[in-house]
Amino acid sequence: MRLPCINAAPALVASVLLSAVATAGELDGSAWRLVNIASMDDTNYAPDDPANYLAQFEWVRSYVMKDGHLFLATMADGAIIEFEPLPPVVATVLGEEVRANDVAEMQSTIIARLFARYAAERGIKVEEAELASYLGNMRRGMAAEGLTAGEEDLSPDEKRQVDAMRREMGSSLIRQWKINKSLHEAYGGRIIYQQLGPEPLDAYRQYLEERQKAGDFRIDESAMKQAFWQYFTDDSQHDFMKKGSADEARAFATSPWE
């Protein structure tokens, strides 16, 4: 069997020897997402982002199915390539299809794409000095609480991985704080407490309503559409900062790196 159409980064193309035979027509037109590649030497490869490894079949000779997953055995080295069914298309955002099995996944994808464009259009970015200040404050806070014990025993590679993780987390938090500050300045409204910082809920809703009206995104599945907006309209889900309180006043006055 061969895979004639692979949308992947990097591309995954393999000829396969199958341990079972099934009706090829069952896979015609179906789409799958890579889960894992298990090599004969017992090593496993799991993609960082399964969405980057998608396979769609126009012609299939044989395959193995188990628990809804598709397994291909490669002829070259005997590796087992595992795929899961691609989630259905439930929405579009900025001209791209959004595939998701649940509302949270769909909502995260739509908002992430819109916020990325919002930040790019307004020149919102994380400065190295801001990130360095944030990481310094983080390390001092962790040291004061005894949370850095044992870090001296990490290997150089492990230390680099920890540093990279902290930089990514810090950069994401700073960038989102700047986006939230910008949205609140543009739309105003109430602010809610969130674990990673203040969130301008009403500003989110108004911005998203505008983007939907402008055609930047569309949710096709009615139940998912209702659940998507419920987060922004159901006040019972949130803990709001009191109007005129000190918390509200400093929500976007004090940056996370200060």
3-state SS, one letter per residue, for 166-216:
HHHHHHHHHHHHHHHHHHHHHHCCCCECCCCCCECHHHHHHHHHHHHHCCC
Q: Distance from CA of residue 126 to its chain's centroid?
A: 19
Q: Distance from first CA to last CA of the chain, Å, rounded?
A: 58
Choose the weakest-confidence range: 43-52, 100-109, 218-227, 230-239. Answer: 43-52
- Are 131 and 257 a contacting pair, CB within 8 Å? yes
Residue 75: pLDDT band (50, 70, 90) is: low
Q: Quick check: 76 pLDDT over 60?
A: no
- 28 shares its domain with 114: no
79-102 average pLDDT score: 88
In the chain, the percentage of residues whose pLDDT exceeds 70 is 82
**Tokens 């199915």 identify what position?**
65
- 108 shares its domain with 81: no
CA distance 194 to 10: 36
Choose the weakest-confidence range: 32-36, 90-94, 205-209. Answer: 32-36
Q: Which amino acid is at 167?
A: R
Choose the weakest-confidence range: 2-6, 57-61, 83-87, 215-219. Answer: 2-6
- 96-99 and 64-66 beta bridge pairing: unpaired
- pLDDT of res. 205: 98
- 135 shares its domain with 73: no
Q: Quick check: 17 pLDDT over 70?
A: no
- pLDDT of res. 44: 81
**Maximum separation of any 2 CA atoms in the chain, in Å:** 69
- pLDDT of res. 11: 34
- pLDDT of res. 233: 95
CA distance 156 to 162: 10
Q: Quick check: 19 pLDDT over 50?
A: no
Kindly report whether the global pTM for this prediction surpasses the value 0.85. no
More confidently predicted of 256 and 117: 117
Q: Quick check: 134 pLDDT over 80?
A: yes
CA distance 110 to 229: 12
Residue 180's CB is within 10 A of a number of other CB atoms, namely 21
Q: Is residue 32 part of a domain?
A: yes
CA distance 30 to 126: 41
* Domain finish residue from 63, 86, 109: 86
- Comparing CA positions, the residue from 73, 58, 81 lying closest to residue 18 is 73
* Domain finish residue from 71, 86, 101: 86
What does DSSP assign to residue 222?
A: H
Residue 6: pLDDT band (50, 70, 90) is: very low
* Domain finish residue from 51, 69, 86: 86
222-240 average pLDDT score: 95
More confidently predicted of 192 and 162: 192
- Are 224 and 89 a contacting pair, CB within 8 Å? no
Number of domains composing the chain: 2
Q: Is residue 188 part of a domain?
A: yes
In the chain, the percentage of residues whose pLDDT exceeds 90 is 54
186-198 average pLDDT score: 95
- 62 shares its domain with 105: no
User: CA angle 61-65-69, nearest 5°?
Assistant: 120
- 42 shares its domain with 103: no
> Domain of 68?
5-86
- 62 shares its domain with 33: yes
36-59 average pLDDT score: 72
